[in-house]
């Protein structure tokens, strides 16, 4: 190896050694790249009217209901209605054969007439002191007895015709024309179906919130998806000591006779109305043990975790009693991906459209237990 080649090898080795031993300058290293903001769906907390309601179960009853019975023995000669059809107040329902009673009434009238003649003659004889007071009293007593007997016969003749005590709908009849019936035989039933009543037992803890004319919503299995509205007209003045509940009655308009007595009903009894409640969509609520939390978005687009106190809930909507103010942005989608203080990027308005329900009265429910207890809906699912 010549001297020139040897020199180049030494120079190359020295340069490689210097390069390997040189440490990088840490002070010139740049910061790590910032994390991009997390895209989330946000909506504004808004103010709406929230009605708090108590969920109950009850049974429908007729407004008025009577079992029609005969006060006499006799033969049915006329039926003046059709089963299941409406009748008016005073309409003739049944008529019994009255021929025997008519003859008996005629006899009573003749007896009374004769008794009246004897009574008038006795008055004159008493004034002339031709008869004793005792004889006059006997004739007067017989005259009064004949008057009473005639009144009885007139009443019996009247009872051969049975009229509707109120307007309503006739049920099934139990007799036919030509049938001989006895006294107290059931002939049929008359039911007043408009309005109908519903009776429910309300737990005593809610009695302070009950008032007459409060609104009640009612649903029955026969008309799925349809809600009937009524008003409370009776609140019992006492509490049942066994169930610790009070009887409450409400009336529901039933012009088409759709609701039938005996139907099982699910009820929502409005307890109180809060016109300016703050509400948010239910998906915004996070629950850890007995604590409820919500992510809000501050003015710097940072996610901030807030503890909240919940009120009543309605399908998709939750009332916020404390922790969030109206107008603040709350995260409804993407809460699993964000952390407190993290940057977020709200999605477009089309993403939040599903949560932007029209403003209006929202009804939150409390469910009454079978033994008079209740389950408050203030805790999120």
Residues with Cβ within 8 Å of residue 161, at least 6 apart in sequence: 92, 94, 95, 96
**Structure tokens given for 355:** 């949560």
3-state secondary structure of 349: helix
Nearest to 75 by CA among 104, 100, 92, 103: 100
Give residue 372's pLDDT band: very low, low, confident or very high (50, 70, 90): very low
Of residues 31 and 83, which shows the higher confidence score? 83
Residue 4 has pLDDT above 70, yes or no: no
Which stretch of DSSP H or E encloses residue 81?
Answer: none
Residue with tokens 């009255």: 98
Which stretch of DSSP H or E encloses residue 238?
Answer: none
Give residue 233's pLDDT band: very low, low, confident or very high (50, 70, 90): very high
Give residue 13's pLDDT band: very low, low, confident or very high (50, 70, 90): very low
3-state secondary structure of 146: helix
Answer whether 217's CB lies under 8 Å from 228's CB: yes
pLDDT tens digits, 286-296: 888 778 899 99
pLDDT at 197: 94
Alpha-carbon distance of 205 to 88, in angstroms, equals 43
Give the percent of the chain with pLDDT over 90. 19
Nearest to 216 by CA among 10, 54, 48: 54
What's the mean per-residue pLDDT of the chain? 81
Residue 371 has pLDDT above 50, yes or no: no
| Cβ-based neighbour number of residue 1 at 10 Å | 6
pLDDT at 234: 94
pLDDT at 49: 81
**Structure tokens given for 75:** 């033969």
Give the percent of the chain with pLDDT over 70. 84
* For residues 101-106, average pLDDT: 84
Alpha-carbon distance of 29 to 22, in angstroms, equals 16
Using CA atoms, how far residue 10 sits from 6, 17, 21, 22, in Å, is 6, 11, 17, 19
What domains lie within the chain, and their CATH numbers?
Answer: 42-60+193-370 (2.40.30.170), 72-96+161-184 (2.40.50.100), 99-158 (1.10.287.470)
Alpha-carbon distance of 239 to 232, in angstroms, equals 17
pLDDT tens digits, 310-335: 887 777 888 888 888 888 999 988 88
Give residue 131's pLDDT band: very low, low, confident or very high (50, 70, 90): confident
Answer whether 297's CB lies under 8 Å from 329's CB: yes
Nearest to 70 by CA among 154, 149, 161: 161
pLDDT at 334: 85
pLDDT tens digits, 32-61: 666 788 888 888 888 888 877 788 888 899
Alpha-carbon distance of 7 to 9, in angstroms, equals 5
Residues with Cβ within 8 Å of residue 246, at least 6 apart in sequence: 201, 202, 204, 207, 235, 236, 238, 239, 240
Residue 377 DSSP symbol: T
pLDDT at 137: 85
Give residue 192's pLDDT band: very low, low, confident or very high (50, 70, 90): very high
Residue 283 DSSP symbol: G
Nearest to 233 by CA among 203, 265, 200: 200
Residues with Cβ within 8 Å of residue 377, at least 6 apart in sequence: 312, 313, 364, 365, 366, 367
pLDDT at 7: 39
Answer whether 45's CB lies under 8 Å from 280's CB: yes
Give residue 132's pLDDT band: very low, low, confident or very high (50, 70, 90): confident
């Amino acid at each position: 190896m010549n001297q020139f080649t040897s020199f180049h090898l030494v120079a190359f080795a020295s340069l490689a050694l210097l390069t390997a031993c040189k440490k990088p300058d840490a002070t010139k290293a740049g910061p790590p790249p910032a994390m991009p903001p997390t895209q989330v769906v946000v909506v504004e907390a808004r103010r709406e009217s929230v009605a708090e309601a108590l969920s109950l179960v009850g049974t429908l009853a007729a407004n008025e209901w009577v079992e029609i019975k005969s006060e006499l023995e006799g033969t049915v000669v006329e039926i003046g209605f059709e089963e299941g059809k409406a009748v008016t107040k005073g309409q003739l329902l049944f008529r019994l054969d009255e021929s025997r009673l008519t003859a008996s009434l005629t006899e009573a009238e003749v007896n009374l007439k004769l008794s009246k003649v004897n009574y008038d003659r006795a008055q004159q004889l008493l004034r002339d002191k031709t008869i004793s007071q005792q004889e006059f009293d006997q004739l007067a007593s017989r005259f009064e007895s004949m008057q009473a007997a005639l009144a009885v016969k007139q009443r019996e003749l009247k009872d051969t015709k049975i009229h509707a005590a109120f307007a309503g709908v006739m049920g099934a009849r139990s007799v036919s024309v030509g049938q001989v019936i006895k006294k107290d035989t059931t002939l049929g039933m008359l039911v007043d179906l408009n309005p109908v009543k519903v009776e429910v037992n309300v737990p005593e803890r809610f009695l302070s919130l009950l008032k007459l004319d409060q609104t009640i919503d009612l649903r029955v299995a026969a008309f799925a998806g349809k809600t009937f509205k009524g008003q409370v007209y009776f609140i019992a003045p006492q509490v049942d000591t066994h169930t610790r509940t009070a009887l409450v009655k409400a009336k529901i308009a039933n012009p088409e006779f759709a609701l039938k007595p005996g139907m099982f009903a699910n009820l929502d009894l409005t307890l109180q109305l809060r016109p300016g409640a703050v509400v948010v969509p239910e998906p915004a609520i996070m629950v850890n043990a007995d604590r409820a939390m919500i992510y809000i978005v501050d003015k710097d687009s940072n996610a901030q975790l807030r503890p909240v106190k919940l009120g009543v809930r309605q399908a998709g909507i939750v009332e916020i009693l404390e922790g969030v103010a109206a107008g603040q942005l709350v995260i409804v989608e993407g809460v699993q991906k964000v952390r407190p203080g993290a940057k977020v990027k709200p999605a477009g308005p089309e993403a939040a459209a599903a949560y932007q329900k029209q403003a209006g009265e929202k009804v939150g429910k409390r469910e009454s237990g079978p033994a008079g207890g209740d389950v408050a809906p203030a805790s999120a699912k």
